[in-house]
Structure 1
Amino acid sequence: MEDPKASPHATTIPPIGRRLVIVAIGVVFAVHTFLVTLWVMPQNPYWDAVGRENLSEYINNDVFPFEQSWSVFAPIPRRGGENVKVRAYYGTPGEDDTRVTNWFDITADEDQRIKYLVNPSRFHSATRRLGGNINSTVGQFNEQQRLVIGGILLTSPRSELEKLLLRYNTKGLAGRSAIKQYLDNDEMLTRYGTMYANARWGKGVTAVEFQVGHRSVPNFSKRHEINFLDVPFTYYRVGIRKAMPGNADAQAAFDGYVRKAPAPKSEKGGE
């Protein structure tokens, strides 16, 4: 009986030497993947068992270091965090019968509300976007201009704020562009803060005031020494602004979302 012909699709078994090389490569790759994964994880028992110094020597070796900054993957990564605080006035600021709320950290409250949400609403990022826009322009202002934005704007038209900022502009066209951007965001922040305050402390807000903060991400080389959440905020003061209520539909959206607070106590001038 003749031997059957070998199938043209049969796979030739590689020699033992080649198989050993493939297995060795697979083992090296698996160990490398495990060590890199362990390095980027928070401290845990496996991390301690291997040892921080051993991991550091492997990852940051002099021949071919494996660790890379996030800037490799994100050409323009976020390098900081924004924060917005607000307080509201009921009555005329400075008068004895005016009620003033305590400062309320909107951004910190939002952070707590989205802590375990996989896909939070864009509403949660509103103050962070507004704070970032304010900080990006105020950072270009000189000291005199920063004093201007920290002032009171109640009875004067908003055009007066623009005139003062332009008067102290020292950066030509670039400075004028920054002023225009700031004024747009100042108005949006005032309108947002008014509706937020009405929803939180009750209708009748006559003026709002803000603190807009920024903190920078620690240098990459300090990532194991400084926790970003421990970096203090640097605040810019956005002074008292006349309330800018929204329409009924917009206010209703805030009313259904914002957490209510006890009615503010009477105190002259606030905190």
Structure 2
Amino acid sequence: MTLVAHLTELRNRIAKALFFIALGTVVGFIWYDRGLLTFLTGPYCEVPDRLRLDGDGDCRLVVLDVFGGVLLRLKIAFIAGIGLSAPFWLYQLWAFITPGLKRNEKRYTVGFVAASTLLFAGGTVLAWLTLRKGLELLLRLAGDEVAFQLTAPLYLSFVISLLVAFGLSLELPLIAVALNLVGVLSYDALKKSRRWIFFLTIVFAAFVTPTQDPFTMLAMAGPMILLFELAIQTARVVDRRRARRAAIEGFHNLGDDEASPLDARPSSLDDASSPTAR
């Protein structure tokens, strides 16, 4: 394909992706007051009543300006639309990239798309499970004489940023696996840097988590460390297979007068005295 043809196809793919995102945004806009807002405000409403000004059983967030409610609904609907339409716009991205990939690269790409989707979903679920405890801890730190009435834009932005932070953080070990598969990052380098990786993971979790409390930080750092260790062990297996494959290819590419690398290892028979030598 010519450059113009590539750009035309890219334009068409982007247009289709934006169409699906717009369609998902419409669905999110309708879903907003049919369960989505209740789902997002759940952790705040589960906080003990004495920590909220509206602690009489009626849990409500506050909007301080006239257009705040409309903009808030559009923002939440757009983010929900991106998530709901992800399979469709990811397919458009995949369809644009696929013709330029080799067969093994296509196989890896399908696996990485599936793994990244599962890891992001797992990260959001983990964030949701830790959100209530982290939120309650932050509100308690203000003291027993303080009660809260949170504004809707700030609270919902906080919830969404926490979900996205957890989801993206679990993608980092997958990047290490990808770099190893393409030959950029070796198992030896990962093994030597294991302690630094674990230390920097804890530092990363401390800065990225919006709550910055120890409970939420450990809830993010713990799974990341386990996934990084899994990535290191995956790199070990991949490098072993790569070395074995290289040895076999080197054997087949030998000349008639060259020694085989497979015979380079010493044999126990070499140390034994030959009967003919006596």
- TM-score between both structures, scaled by the size of structure 2: 0.22
TM-score (norm 1): 0.23
| Structure with more helix by fraction | 2
